[in-house]
Structure 1
């Protein structure tokens, strides 16, 4: 995660004393841990939402992607907003919105309400993330203290993301599904109170003008494409609505690029992509996030619907991925300065490819042992890719471009994750629907029951429970088989994406640690 604001001392009062600085960092860190946790805590609850809210596969995709869409598309704009209006107030506004929307999500009585609440939580994250890093840059003097503080800032988000599925599993096993959101309430309130008294305000001395047109174009472009991908299985990939949405997304994306190229104060200065490590890093982290979050979206449902684990058991069985990520991340931080971003990121993407390949070839008779291998590869690959690309981006940029450059990294993670959920979910749904319709036991079902069962494997299992004796068991087996068959194309997409990522890493990523330093000196001269 990152920000749009460069972490340098800015216009404000005297720097707080040393002891207070670390208290301020603690307030920001706890808030960020909750934000990171919420990125993944919902994954374990997705199967529960099928039974509690009657959510279809496409609706599950929107519940996840509404958050990622808003957070990824608005982070650059919100960084500029924090620069102009004051970092403290934007941070507190984002935390208040995030907390309030969490309560709405916890008590949502319909999928629509939950999707809207999740979108508002994404806006809250977009307000929080850039403001926090800028506050750290204002509070901590340049040097070892700031480096350590930024490391803790990054670790807070990473730890929250990693422990999310395990926390979600425990909450679902102990309380009701809304508890995965309601946990944010006490922490959010405590954070607001502490921030009001401890966190100083600051503004950028040379804040860029806001670019609301750019923000609207970016959200609309991504939303149109996601809508087309998610709705494709339901409406038909060649339907006029889906084709129109794809065309609209392409036109809006073109308009966004043109606006950023010609605007007086663009939200995303395109010159930033002259930095080789940044351009390659953004592409690689986007592809890595696609594979990571898309895989989690699929595998959580596989654990609960096919292997029959409870939410709590699912959280524990995702634990090896979290452990592998926690080990691989620091290891990548040691290796990247020695052997370069190219080798480490390519290795990470190869591990992600291996995880996807294992799951793509999984059958209904395979147990957790095969999935465990996939989880270990997934966590290790994610740790290598995230750490190597983030470190390379920060290490290659001059101070003037550090804020907006690191913000593109955050946006790439969120938008890659959104695309992964949309594509993997849609390919899974497409194959699942056709597979279930072709199953021998489906022919005897009334059309309305079959249509309901095709919405998700969870719904199909609920339908199977209403069928008599062997007919119900046979239909449940057919639904599980159709779902597992659907994992093939869904995970094959992740294999393809990570294969492209490996090629990009080998062709464009800096080959040696010194490449990043050279890029930094060269681009610093260009910027001046």
Structure 2
């Protein structure tokens, strides 16, 4: 049930990522609006995942598990009927809220059923494999559907899975609660939601416009104040949803930082990669899916033995090795061009997936095993919260970098392509206002080919910048793992 739950939770991530170019064309969305399609899903996950873990501890994990499935199904149904970008955001937010309930609950169910840490590692490995399997299935589902139907139908797939999981849980899943008394932490929940939402809003809107805008500065200030208020609430609270003493464990601190930094780079990378395949290489969704799916498939291949080796090889070695492989893959992708072949892309994406798979299982297992058993549920929820916080900031940060770099480079590439006069001014103004995808709505006539070549060249400039930033973030995560996990190993010894 834990594997089925996390599969439902993560299926929308890559399903939607592959479909972004189709959504952008159909709804005439700007790059900032497109960023919100993914962040509307990830934000509730990051903001409410800790509270969902507390709800499970207090009211029973089975109830929260089933409530999460209902929200996932409701969100998919709303998105399936969406006719505008705002309705799509609403559906994504509902599905994200459901995923926030599923992620900590599924890991807590495993911790309750398998109290032995050594034995639990194998089941967490299966859980991580199910997560990666959802990421692998998403592009295939999207490619198959979008080759024959509207993008809305990608939201049909989660519905029967959520209904099946709900019915099975009602009949077979035993309930469990935390053995110690816990209460809901409303000050912590409110300040966490305000902080995460304000920070992501500020980054997205700042990237789309200007970081000097009063609205953006205000949002970032509110986000910073929310972080301070959250820390204060958790330090003073009688039953905090994130016990700050967890950070006394070097293992938990390391995995939290690795999760946040890595997912910031990787989820943001998936966002810009989908735009590369759609806008630069002009690939259809099935062809793009056939490339993106290589990453989670390779991660599954690496993740299965990673779970088995968890108690034979140091987590520090496994996590650091995986992060270095991931960084190497991201740096190798900086040489991508408009006509880069499938074979040339395939080995790099496969290397990226192998690195991800080597990191996922030991990172999750170390976060849970590095704290007392009574805090295992909170540790798993905290690790997932940091992962989703990084995932929420990823499309915002890298989407802003991609757009700003492409907008700055576009006039020069248009001039090199021989596009001048009113056409050049119109194209630059359109991209500046609505992002690169907005050019598809312009009547370009005979100059269309040269405009699209210039646009592709400017997007490649933005993509390379994003890849360098992603690689730098992953290397920073590797440094955190080497430094902090070594301290954790010494303390355990």
Report the TM-score when normalising by structure 2: 0.92
* Equivalent in the alignment of 2:436: 457
Cα deviation, 1:378-408, whole Å, max 9, x if unaligned, reads 1112112222322322332221221111211
Q: 1:359 to 1:140 in 2, by over 3 A?
A: closer
1:174 and 2:148 are equivalent in the alignment: yes
1:198 to partner: Cα distance: 2.7
Paired position in structure 2 for 1:79: 53
Indicate the SS of the match to 1:510: helix
Per-residue deviation, residues 336-391 of structure 1 (Å, max 9, x unmatched)? 54442222222222222222222334333534344323312211121122223223
Query: Aligned pair 1:494/2:473, yes or no?
Result: no
Alpha-carbon distance in 2 for matches of 1:175, 1:515: 56
Counterpart of 2:267 in structure 1 is: 293
Uncovered stretches (5+) of structure 1, i.e. residues with no partner: 1-24, 519-528
1:33 CA displacement? 1.5
Q: What SS does structure 2 have at the residue aligned with 1:509?
A: helix
* Residue correspondence of structure 1 range 139-150 to structure 2 within 5 A: 149-150=123-124
State the distance in 2 between where 1:391 and 1:145 align.
11
Q: Which residue of 1 aligns with 2:380?
A: 406
User: Is 2:441 the counterpart of 1:467?
Assistant: no
Superimposed CA distance per residue, residues 471-495 of structure 1 (whole angstroms, 9 cap, x where no aligned partner): 1111111111111111122122112
SS in 2 for 1:237: coil
SS of equivalent residue, structure 1 residue 445: helix
Whether 2:361 is the aligned partner of 1:387: answer yes
Q: Distance in 1 between matches of 2:4 and 2:186?
A: 30
Distance 1:201 1:338, change over 3 A: closer
Cα gap change, 1:289 to 1:112, in 2 (>3 Å):
same
Aligned to 1:225: 199
Q: CA RMSD in A?
A: 2.4
Q: Give the 3-state SS of the residue equivalent to 2:465 in structure 1.
A: helix
- How far does residue 85 in structure 1 lie from its aligned partner after superposition? 2.0
Partner of 1:21: none
2:104–2:380: 8 Å Cα contact kept in structure 1?
Answer: no
Q: 2:398 matched to 1:424?
A: yes
What is the CA deviation profile of residues 27-58 of structure 1, one whole-angstrom value per residue up to 9, with x for unaligned ones?
x5333322221222111100001111111111
User: In structure 1, which of residues 306, 311, 314 is the aligned counterpart of residue 285 of structure 2?
Assistant: 311
Alignment of 1:173-322 (within 5 A): 173-322=147-296
How many angstroms does 1:136 deviate by? 4.6
Cα distance change on mapping 1:348 and 1:516 into 2, 3 Å:
farther
Q: How far does the alpha carbon of each residue in 1:256-279 deviate from its partner, in whole angstroms, 9 at most, with x for none?
A: 111111112111110011111111
Instruction: For residues 305-346 of structure 1, give each alpha carbon's deviation from its aligned partner in whole angstroms, at most 9, with x where no partner exists.
Output: 211221011111123222321122234335554442222222
Q: Distance in 1 between matches of 2:206 and 2:345?
A: 28
Residue equivalent to 2:423: 445
Q: Is the 8 A contact 1:351 1:377 kept in 2?
A: yes
Q: Distance in 1 between matches of 2:370 and 2:88?
A: 40
Aligned to 1:4: none
TM-score by length of 1: 0.86
1:141 deviation in Å? 7.5
1:337–1:163: structure 2 CA closer, same or farther, 3 Å change rule? same
| Secondary structure in structure 2 of the residue aligned to 1:238 | coil
User: Aligned with 1:366: secondary structure?
Assistant: coil
